[in-house]
Amino acid sequence: MNRSRIAGAMTGFAVALFCPERPALAEGVILSITGRIEGESARFTRAELEAFEQHSLQTSTSVTDGVREFEGFLMRDLMAAVGATGDSVEALALNGYQIAIPIADFERFDVLGALSMDGARLSPRDKGPIWIVYPRDAHLELDDIRYDMRWVWQLQALDVR
């Protein structure tokens, strides 16, 4: 293992130790959902998320060059699957980024929980394992900083409120 990998592993270990608000995910689980849902919580592996109907979306982003193709599940399908009854979700990323997203966005737009970009599986090094992606090029109002802030990459948890 090279020095940068060791440093990265140690950083991840330190974050896990010193960030108690970061939910611990079980082996293979890449997304946990809590809050106003059926049951106490829901946990999903990549395979379980890939079992949802998959959709493709071509759009530009504020952090990549050109138009990219994303593939994944619709966030509204995920919310229906867990029986979400709230008005918003608090999205939490692996890097600690957190933001509230109105669930109405998921009904109004075809917002993806992207698992791949340009045919390549997303990993934590390239904004994965899940990246919330809006159909930015299909709706002029989505080309706005308020929506750009809702593009959560490295998504690990949702709390329905």
Model confidence over 65-91: pLDDT tens digits?
999 999 999 999 999 999 999 999 999
pLDDT in tens, 112-154: 999 999 999 999 999 999 999 999 999 999 999 999 999 999 9
CA dihedral angle for residue 156, residue 53, residue 104, residue 161, rounded to 10 degrees: -40
Domain membership of residue 17 (yes or no) is no
Here the tokens at position 119 are 């045919």
Asked if residue 1 belongs to a domain, the reply is no
Q: The domain that contains 53 carries what CATH number?
A: 3.90.420.10
Q: What is the pLDDT of residues 38-49, one digit of tens each?
A: 999 999 999 999
The domain of 101 spans 25-160
**What is the count of structural domains for the chain?**
1
How far apart, in whole angstroms, are the C-alpha atoms of residue 46 and residue 158?
A: 15
Task: Evaluate whether residue 141 is within a structural domain.
Answer: yes
| 2 part of a folded domain | no
- Residue 13 belongs to a domain: no
Round to whole Å and give the CA distance between 90 and 101: 6
Helices (DSSP H) in 2-159: which residue ranges?
A: 3-18, 46-50, 75-81, 103-108, 145-148
Q: Is residue 115 part of a domain?
A: yes
